Amino acid sequence: MTESPTRRLNMIEAINDALDIMMERDPDVVVMGEDVGYFGGVFRATAGLQRKHGKTRVFDTPISECGIIGVAVGMGAYGLRPVPEIQFADYIYPGLDQLVSEAARLRYRSAGEFIAPITVRSPFGGGIFGGQTHSQSPEALFTHVSGIKTVIPATPYDAKGLLIAAIEDNDPVIFFEPKRIYNGPFNGYYDKPVEPWAKHADSAVPEGHYTIPLGKARTVREGDAFTVLAYGTMVHVAAAVCAEKGVDAEIIDLRTLVPLDIAAVEKSVQKTGKCLIVHEATRTCGFGAELSALVQERCFYHLEAPIERVTGFDTPYPHSLEWAYFPGPVRIGEAIDRLMKA
Amino acid sequence: MSETARGNLPQLALHVPEPKFRPGDKVDYSHLTIPPAGAQPRPDEQCSAAETHPLCLDLVRVLGEDHHAVGPWDPKLDAETLRRMLRTMALTRAFDDRMYRGQRQGKTSFYMKCTGEEATSVAPAMALANDDMVFPSYRQQGILIARGYPMVDMINQIYSNRADKLKGRQLPIMYSAREASFFSISGNLATQYPQAVGWAMASAIKGDSRIAATWIGEGSTAEGDFHSAMTFAAVYNAPVIFNVVNNQWAISSFSGFAGAERTTFAARAIGYGIAGIRVDGNDPLAVFAATQWAANRARSNAGPTLIEHFTYRAEGHSTSDDPGQYRSAHEREEWPLGDPINRLKLHLIALGEWSEAQQADMDRELMEQVKAATKEAEKNGILGHGLHHPFRTMFEDVFEELPWHLKEQSAQAIHERRVKWPDWKEDEA
């Protein structure tokens, strides 16, 4: 797949490219959401698509998440392959009934007569002074729902390949885009300049169509000291802290939370004997709890230390105290120290 | 007086609606305005939505006191079609009666009748094309019957038996019938409303000629999905028909709790810029005509229509409900719009195209037909008596393919089965 020529793209451009390619390849793909049409999206993810593919395939919607998802489910039942956008993950809740009760269960309850092959794109995560309602990471609400796949890319290369795979997938997919890394791989050191994607190897994005299979993790770095399980922005934060500390960590970017690449998790933790789980979402009943339980069940006799969970605190996402909330280098660093001493 | 009341300002009072009649009360429907049949104008199907406003506050009626069809809404159906409509409604009622009894006999866990509301599903189904997609609620079994969907398959679903096409996963009556263009029924109220709009939008995006129709009870119009659906339908001029079956009751809550004390449900359409019609839901010809009007409007890209079917839920909400606990038993007998089957029967008799004897013969025949279908379905098992789908199918169709965790859980479930019944084989029911 890397034989085709590549371009340096940031994550927004990679997502835009994936949408453009899928709209070109499949006349049933439609893109819709608040401000996605003429304007091209508040993050520019759909820029130029309406001009190129027309107003009946890329269009603005009323401000109604319930309507956006509900309409997408109906379009899916007709045979289209809708890619609705929810402007911020924090605003997905009005559409939750349609996602949880309808999209997730349609195939099951109709024994396959009707399906909901929809891909709900939504910017998520914090680190941008977004305050309470532009920073949330609600992935655990979806990983808890049977019938939905949850995908979170960490690089432009993955964003394009995973988004194409999600659109082609016949199951409903929640595609959370870590908006903090739309323009560059933020490493958690907010007081230092952020490097743009152009300087990062994973911004080399092949032209044309390629996919990254859902349910397959990516080993960011091989190592022996301990295993890091992370996704989205936190992949880069964890990697930067490990590099700074000079520890030989094995870093796994999960990419898909459901279905999870359990084989990759098991293989790594059984090799290293230690596990650090990092996510930005709040701690209690976060996806880290599921990861921790799975590692404990499957790697118990290989574990040499308690599983470490570094997460956001169990509070709403604060504005002024953002960096005290964010699971940054200090919190991750101390967990690493505990693992290294164990 | 509340401590926060100030000066000489009037004290505020919360209004909590209360139905006119409770158990034991004498029923008097004189407050309902029932206009004469034939008096309502029939605007052009291409008219602006606002022009339909008077119809939202009126009641479109075709069958008069003398049982003849009158006025501009008379769909002028031939006798053969009228007899088919009568037969389909009567079959729906016979089916309901039998299934209700089946639930009482323990053959299934649950059932919901549509007694008194047969016209609101059968007549629209006959006015639509068979490939127009319907997004029903749980009280439109008449559509499946009108579309000739096999009754045995419906009963198999109700019994959750080994021939149930939904593999025993769904509560009885939550049918799904793609070949009948009948969308999978969900327990979550009103969710089908925006879905129908999406389907209609998709049909328009693809330049198709099919339209969508969806049903909701008046109680569920209070859900947010109703508002979303109306807004999207208006914005994109979607080819969709919204049916609101106003049967006066949402389980134990009378329609006042959905806002009926202030306006009609049809009138809500006007605020969205959607055409609205309020029809006598127990007048099958009026229902047919209104659907035909709305379908023609949608098909010619003139936009969506909301039809309020003014009717009465003659029976309990479900087999789990006892309406005697919250409403007067006299409501049903006093209902001023009568019974839809009886009214169509009297119309056909008035035309000289039917007789009481023929009706009695037909009713007997339909009862036998339902009985035969029931017996046929029972060969495949009834709920809880062993004959159901293979165990592993519980894990299928969550996703298109079984992910590792469902494979593991499937193996666990099969293991548990073997612990309990050592001789049990995987593909046995």
Q: What is the pLDDT of residues A237-263, one digit of tens each?
A: 999 999 999 999 999 999 999 999 999
pLDDT averaged over every residue in chain B: 96
Instruction: Find the mean pLDDT for residues B343-361.
Output: 98
Nearest alpha carbon to residue B79 among B411, B369, B345: B345
| Amino acid at site B128 | L
User: In one letter, which amino acid is B36?
Assistant: P
The Cα–Cα gap between B101 and B87 comes to 21
Q: Where are the alpha helices (H) located in B67-140, listed in sequence order?
A: 79-104, 119-127
Model confidence band, residue B428 (pLDDT cutoffs 50, 70, 90):
low
Query: Which residues of chain B make contact with A30, given a CB cutoff of 8 A?
Result: 205
**Average pLDDT value for residue range B121-141:** 98
User: Which amino acid, one-letter code, is at A96?
Assistant: L
- Kindly state whether A57 is in contact with chain B, defined as any CB-CB distance less than 8 angstroms: yes
- Could you read off the pLDDT of B177-212 as tens digits, one per residue? 999 999 999 999 999 999 999 999 999 999 999 999
Q: Is the pLDDT of residue B347 over 80?
A: yes
Burial of B18 (0-12, 13-18, 19+ CB in 10 A): exposed
Compute the distance between CA of residue B345 and CA of residue B367 in angstroms, rounded to an integer.
17
pLDDT band at B389 (very low <50, low <70, confident <90, very high): confident
More confident residue, B396 or B386: B396
Per-residue pLDDT at B384 exceeds 80: yes
Which residue from B371, B244, B161, B195 is spatially nearest to A116, judged by alpha carbons?
A: B195
Average of pLDDT values for B338-364?
98
Residue among B176, B186, B228 whose CB faces A66 most closely: B228
DSSP symbols for B221-237: GGSHHHHHHHHHHHHTT
Share of chain A above pLDDT 70, in %: 99
User: Helix or strand or coil: residue B40?
Assistant: coil
Q: Which among B196, B227, B397 is the nearest to A111, CB-wise?
A: B397
Asked if residue B429 has pLDDT above 60, the reply is no
| pLDDT tops 60 at residue A1 | no
Q: How confident is the model at residue B425 (pLDDT cuts 50, 70, 90)?
A: confident
- Cβ–Cβ under 8 Å, residues A269 and A228: no
Q: Where are the alpha helices (DSSP H) in B130-274?
A: 141-146, 151-159, 192-205, 224-235, 267-272
Asked if residue A153 lies in contact with residue A159, where contact means CB atoms within 8 angstroms, the answer is: yes
Q: Could you tell me if A41 and A186 are in contact, meaning their C-beta atoms sit under 8 angstroms apart?
A: no
Question: What beta strand segments (E) does A94-188 contain?
Answer: 119-124, 149-151, 173-178
pLDDT of res. B1: 52
Distance from CA of B426 to the nearest CA of A (A): 20
Which residues from chain B sit within 8 angstroms of residue A74, using beta carbons? 135, 194-202, 212
Q: What percent of chain B has pLDDT over 90?
A: 93
Nearest CA to B215 out of B128, B156, B343 is that of B128
Can you state the angle between helices B192-205 and B224-235, rounded to 10 degrees? 20
| Helix (H), strand (E) counts: chain A | 12, 14
CA-wise closest residue to B190 among B256, B258, B292 = B258
Write the CB contacts of B354 (distance below 8 Å, at least 6 apart in sequence): B83, B86, B345, B348
Of A71, A109, A112, the CB nearest to B198: A71
Q: What pLDDT, on a 0 to 100 scale, did the predictor assign at position B5?
A: 61
pTM of the model: 0.97
Confidence of residue B427 (pLDDT cuts 50, 70, 90): low
A75-108 tens-digit pLDDT = 999 999 999 999 999 999 999 999 999 999 999 9
- Residue A125: what residue type? G
E strands, chain A, in order: 6-8, 29-33, 58-60, 81-85, 119-124, 149-151, 173-178, 204-206, 218-221, 226-230, 249-253, 256-258, 275-282, 308-312
pLDDT at B424: 82
User: Is residue B4 scored above 70 in pLDDT?
Assistant: no
Structure confidence at residue B310 as a pLDDT band (50, 70, 90): very high
Q: What pLDDT score was predicted for residue A337?
A: 98
ipTM over 0.95: yes
Catalytic residue among B61, B83, B210, B313: B313
